[in-house]
Structure 1
């Protein structure tokens, strides 16, 4: 091309031959396409956060937003806390190793580190988080949730042959970090790794522990005293460790929406800033040592926006405490949601986790756990660990996500949603502050009640199938083969751990251990905790000494953990148990009337409706007469018959067919697919027992039918 032509081509506006369309013109075209259906009803979605999700955004939506002019590495850090984002510092592959024993966790870590694992992410079991030795805990507490850690021997087996100079830590110790930290620091030093080489997070989250369990092993003031002591010690001896955790998994898994989860995170972070300031630490010492951990759900764009909003709001909070720009930078770990994972059609969980992981990456998380697809059933095996771990590698090496800094930045939709999520979360955060802060709000039951209301709203949407869970309340596969389940035998584990504890106590000097624990109960310092560990003190003994001479521990209404699919999973499990008990699956016969074009839509709807409850559906190509349909229905032996046709044909079909069936078998439940409003009373009088339709509560209908037909014992 001649140079003068190249210049002309370069100067000419791209697509200048097309007149730009306005939003008003687009909306008029959209409304025409909808053919009379209201725009707001069809195209605008109200989220659980009460945000009106628009079908399209444009430049005017973000023109007045102040954060859109910011850059990565600069306040308010909405785009990233790092100037180069993940380009030079990729997100950490922080896969949880939820095994109950040190040997199992160590074996998994040794297998996974050469294959991409970069962070030793160790969830702890309930006994450890409550500061109990396993032989003093209930069997159900031992191994539930993760690792049983009680002795220095446990810690040494856990860390054996792991290079902690390179491998980051991520440990949420619950209400108190010092016992867990002392065990791990001592074990690491035995391997030649000094505390100053440890990096990552080994922290406590007293308010998160209180919300999750409803109680603490010590008073909140004592927990704060110990948290301040652990933080001071780490500042001097382990400066690369973050010591404070703000985890919102408990709120997310109880059904909270994104704004509630973020508000609870902010309120918890503020509570820790205040508590540790009262104990002599400055905001610039406290804030950089806080590790935020959150769950990322299935609403991709909202979740990306929420993570961006979290950094922006936390920077605002720390700035209000006069923290410098370094202190304003949020350290963020994300895990894909446990709430969204299912027990049925489990391989769909791989797809769910992929979308959630992409949202975490796009939102700028610095470390990520991607759920094992069989997480809802129990412990992962090597295959499920590998698939989850490899997803990190694919996102990094094949998708090259680490090469872009804040890729959603500038998106009209994401920027607008970032602002809206931030506004909603800030409003809820201020309401918690007006209650007196996070601890007072938990005592009053405020977040519990708000999240319970959201959870009820979510479950209602799932029950009515307005919120779809593929493979569960929609498109279930009744012939699927369930995965092999690796669940913990808590009684056996409890007995084995009791033997471990007895052996550990036999190997120590009882007099030295007792003296060290007495000293610890008086000093309550990290140095004294380390000395007690060296003397052979156990987790329960350390926690007990640290809680000596304490005031009453708080108790609140706990936030129960749930999963979105659990209601329908219970129906499926009930139907499966019935099948095992009787040798046959509960069945529904479809009385399809007329040609396929007449009955197919409602037959397909009915098949999916009943399959969600574990019912086998007996279908056919349709019947010409009610006599044929009744004969086939009775011959099938099904306890439920569903009539499928059109509203126009029902007046001639329903009374006659229902009478023919019930005259022979009055116990048969007759269901009508559809809800012809004007004729409901007539059809009920004719013997129709149930109506299924788009607005029906699928879960309640199926549960009622299971009880009626003896499927549920």
Structure 2
């Protein structure tokens, strides 16, 4: 028998590299970039990035950044997946969402989805979906023994659940073989609406459904632990985790008090999380969620095999843009990939036009095919925990888990999820988080492609039929936010101006000096103004020609674009000429430096540059041009 060959050390011919050598190379890069001088660990720290939840992303991760043992797929703490085989057998569940209020049209969409790649149905029932009385019509022709049905029925979860269970029986599907989810989520409904007048009754009804499912339909989960209300109100990943844990614990208490064993209670819960285009945060969040729930189940006395969290990931509605919605296809592709890599059991990809109303057949087909490509062509489901072992991913998972656990403890200390919602603790925390993130969006430190970056003013809007109003989203419940909210308000002002007067508000870009000198800042300024719906008219000018050029442009305001050196020679004279020619406001692209007073005296009223508050600049510009 041939002896096994020795391992081949691929780097044996090269000397070992250490962190100090790498830091020395970073120092050189920082010097060449013009950044503040730094050495050693300070140089490395200069490349770090701050995220929400107090998490700081380092530029380099090594074995020194390792975490506690992770276990194995299918075993506690389930960081590496809830099942030993992962999604290698059959892939994850491709779960398409249906929000049609017309049962007949909903049925057409359901059948089209199931015939073309979807493996289950997520059906909105009651407010925001088909009426409970139309449930049978919406599912007509669906093979209920093959396609799992997940309900989202809000306050109508009891009659909707009874209707679905009755459909199984009438279709000849034994309840013991049925697979699906009834979606009862009283605390999620409280978060959406702020109405707790029926909370106790709803919790008791949910517990009765869980008892019936345990006894008659063990393949159906009665309760949903939906973290989407907290994400959609502007919450961070850790806040989403903490709120979902607190909700899950509240449901465990309710179910066990109603007589279910803790193992059966755990099996009645399905957790729902958002998946965003930040792939590593999504991957880490899903892995951290399983770890945290495994800890809760362990402390509650659940057996290891009952502690695996069942996860449904939904591509984020917060990240979906209303302008240039085609880019949403790219966002949802990355989000779906992240959900699959993170180990989600079911994944829903929202169609690219979901923010505009009812999705058309093309949008729904692209949403389905996004998952089909990931599963069938990219073979993403064929590897168990593909991100496992990455020092970065493992560290990020650990940090998110700790931050999520801290928020969970805060909620529990306030009396639990219901009490924290009633008191406003959760609402205030999420509002504070969204306020900080809104500042990042306004300063374009978090760019939105097609909206705050590279907008396309001439593109015709995408129009869709209105969708049923979603449950909650205001009043006493948590709000619903979107990343593009501030820019959408600006663009709406521009649209109204266009409709009323036949043209958009305009800014004159006064390009000074040669093309090579002014191009960079003119491109920056053009991108900035168009994000607010302000059309740009650019011309190369000097102090003598600028007045005539400005008059030709039809613009209300102007912006100087050139290099610092040319500004020193021409900016003051050109700005003064623009003010004399009737420019309501003159901006300058770039930071003013030591010449601020000189430029301001000449008539420059604002400076636009990388990191400026774009929303404030644009809003002020529209005000100056009297755009209502």
TM-score range relative to shorter protein: over 0.9
Matched, 1:33 2:29: yes
Name the residue aligned to 1:45: 49
How much does 1:668 deviate? 2.6
Name the residue aligned to 2:157: 177
* Alignment CA distance shift 1:664-1:159 (3 Å): closer
Matched, 1:148 2:130: yes
Name the residue aligned to 2:173: 193
The answer to whether the 8 A contact 2:191-2:229 is kept is yes
The answer to whether the 8 A contact 2:508-2:553 is kept is yes
Distance in 1 (alpha carbons) for counterparts of 2:424 and 2:550 = 53
Matched, 1:709 2:625: yes
Distance in 1 (alpha carbons) for counterparts of 2:424 and 2:112 = 44
**Structure 1 residues 587-615: Cα deviation after superposition (integer angstroms, max 9, x where no partner):** 11111111112212211111111010111
How much does 1:670 deviate? 1.2
The answer to whether the 8 A contact 1:674-1:693 is kept is yes
Q: TM-score, normalised by structure 1?
A: 0.83
Aligned residues: 616
How much does 1:380 deviate? 0.9
Secondary structure of the 2:596 match is helix
Secondary structure of the 2:510 match is strand
* Alignment CA distance shift 1:481-1:572 (3 Å): same
Distance in 1 (alpha carbons) for counterparts of 2:497 and 2:586 = 21
The answer to whether the 8 A contact 2:135-2:164 is kept is yes
Secondary structure of the 2:544 match is helix
**Structure 1 residues 104-142: Cα deviation after superposition (integer angstroms, max 9, x where no partner):** 111111112121111111123xxx25xxxxxxxxxxxxx
The answer to whether the 8 A contact 2:110-2:139 is kept is no
The answer to whether the 8 A contact 2:101-2:468 is kept is no
Secondary structure of the 2:146 match is coil
Over the residues paired in the alignment, what is the CA RMSD in angstroms? 2.0
Distance in 2 (alpha carbons) for counterparts of 1:177 and 1:78 = 31
Instruction: Specify which of 3, 9, 13 is matched with residue 17 of structure 1.
Output: 13
Distance in 2 (alpha carbons) for counterparts of 1:42 and 1:471 = 29
The answer to whether the 8 A contact 2:256-2:262 is kept is yes
Name the residue aligned to 2:514: 595
Distance in 2 (alpha carbons) for counterparts of 1:267 and 1:411 = 29
Secondary structure of the 1:60 match is helix
Secondary structure of the 1:580 match is helix
The answer to whether the 8 A contact 1:579-1:585 is kept is yes
Distance in 1 (alpha carbons) for counterparts of 2:180 and 2:58 = 39
Gaps of 5+ in 2: none
**Structure 1: 4+ residue segments shifted above 4 A:** none
Q: TM-score, normalised by structure 2?
A: 0.94
* Alignment CA distance shift 1:366-1:12 (3 Å): closer
Matches within 5 A, 1:345-424: 345-424=324-403
Matches within 5 A, 1:549-568: 557-568=476-487
Name the residue aligned to 1:669: 585
Name the residue aligned to 2:311: 332
Gaps of 5+ in 1: 130-144, 491-554
Distance in 2 (alpha carbons) for counterparts of 1:13 and 1:663 = 74
Distance in 1 (alpha carbons) for counterparts of 2:161 and 2:246 = 25
Matched, 1:427 2:406: yes
Secondary structure of the 1:320 match is helix
How much does 1:96 deviate? 0.4
Distance in 2 (alpha carbons) for counterparts of 1:474 and 1:80 = 37
How much does 1:489 deviate? 8.4
**Structure 1 residues 335-361: Cα deviation after superposition (integer angstroms, max 9, x where no partner):** 111000101111110100011001100
Secondary structure of the 2:53 match is coil
**Structure 1 residues 633-670: Cα deviation after superposition (integer angstroms, max 9, x where no partner):** 122221111111223332432332222222232x5321
Matches within 5 A, 1:263-342: 263-342=242-321
